[in-house]
Amino acid sequence: MSDLHQAARRCLEAADPAEKLRLTHEAWQQWLAGELTPSASSPPPSPMGAPGRPALPRLVPQRQVPHRGLGTEEGRAALVHAVAHIEFNAINLAWDAVYRFRDMPLAYYHDWASCAHDEARHFAMLSKRLADMGHAYGDFDAHNGLWEMAEKTAHHDTARMALVPRVLEARGLDVTPGMIERLLSVGDQATVAVLEVILREEVAHVAAGTRWFRHCCQRDGVDPRQTFLDLLQTYMGRTLRGPFNRPARLEAGFDEQELDRLTEMALLG
């Protein structure tokens, strides 16, 4: 196979996590070797649907996912599982960005294939940590909020770049430092070590979202700051949550005015 879009589809459709990881790493190496290219003759993307995923975890509404304290091994395992589920979704999100949106610069496909590769490594690290704690991916219920937003933004690359990496995935930049602090307070250095790697690398993923969101705005002749705020209002209304990790978000390409406005919106919500 030499068509990057179809390789991305194979990764998306793989239901077994081990197979999804294998295909992801293989596609990334093929891309680096110049063996995959986005082909103009590739079949158009299929309508958006559920990605390949295992039968478990059971997907429930976000409000039904139980909140467990970090003072117990079970509570810490549930936290690791929740992050693993985000990373599993993030593999699919990155590949869908490659598969669904055509006629983009080669650098766009490089960024999202690289992101898929990183997210697969993150999922593997978290799966190992879960195994060390006596659990596996699928042992706890999870919600589908990330993929639901992907479905809502399947029609337009600008909305996808604005709302998935720059809002939902960027939330990880905000909450992970607090997770790390709480885990340190209970002596869970092993989980902290994994989360520190993920936090460091997720900045680059959010930055890719910023970069390609602004590319889309420039292409379409619209103001990126106002477009971002308009998309937030249209798709998320008053559900924006703070506080925001300003240093990490600035590193990921947000500007001070954006962050000031996001803070206002979160307070109003």
Alpha-carbon span 210 to 197, nearest angstrom: 21
- 3-class state of residue 59 by DSSP: strand
Q: Measuring CA to CA, which residue among 204, 201, 210 is closest to residue 161? A: 210
Alpha-carbon distance values, 219 to 28, 40, 60, 104, 204 (Å):
27, 20, 38, 11, 22
pTM: 0.96
- 3-class state of residue 37 by DSSP: strand
Q: Are the C-beta atoms of residues 217 and 225 closer than 8 Å to each other?
A: no
Alpha-carbon span 38 to 259, nearest angstrom: 35
Alpha-carbon distance values, 19 to 12, 53, 95 (Å):
10, 10, 14
Q: Are the C-beta atoms of residues 17 and 55 closer than 8 Å to each other?
A: no
Give the DSSP H or E segment for 245.
none
pLDDT of residue 6: 97
Q: Are the C-beta atoms of residues 137 and 220 closer than 8 Å to each other?
A: no
AA identity, residue 164:
V
H-type alpha helices, the chain: 4-13, 17-32, 73-100, 106-132, 145-152, 157-163, 171-185, 189-220, 224-236, 246-251, 256-268
Q: What are phi and psi of 142, to 5 degrees?
A: -145, 170
Alpha-carbon span 204 to 88, nearest angstrom: 17
pLDDT of residue 44: 95
Q: Tens digit of pLDDT per residue, the chain (269 long)?
A: 699 999 999 999 999 999 999 999 999 999 999 999 999 999 999 999 999 999 999 999 988 888 878 889 999 999 999 999 999 999 999 999 999 999 999 999 999 999 999 999 999 999 999 999 999 999 999 999 999 999 999 999 999 999 999 999 999 999 999 999 999 999 999 999 999 999 999 999 999 999 999 999 999 999 999 999 999 999 987 678 889 999 999 999 999 999 999 999 887 76
Q: Measuring CA to CA, which residue among 208, 27, 19 is closest to residue 112? A: 208
Question: Which residues is 3 bridged to in the sheet?
Answer: 37
In the chain, the domains with their CATH numbers are 71-268 (1.20.1260)
Q: Would you state the structure tokens that stand for residue 269, as one six-digit string?
A: 């919500």
pLDDT of residue 68: 78
Return the C-alpha torsion angle 23, 195, 177, 249, nearest 10: -30
pLDDT of residue 119: 98
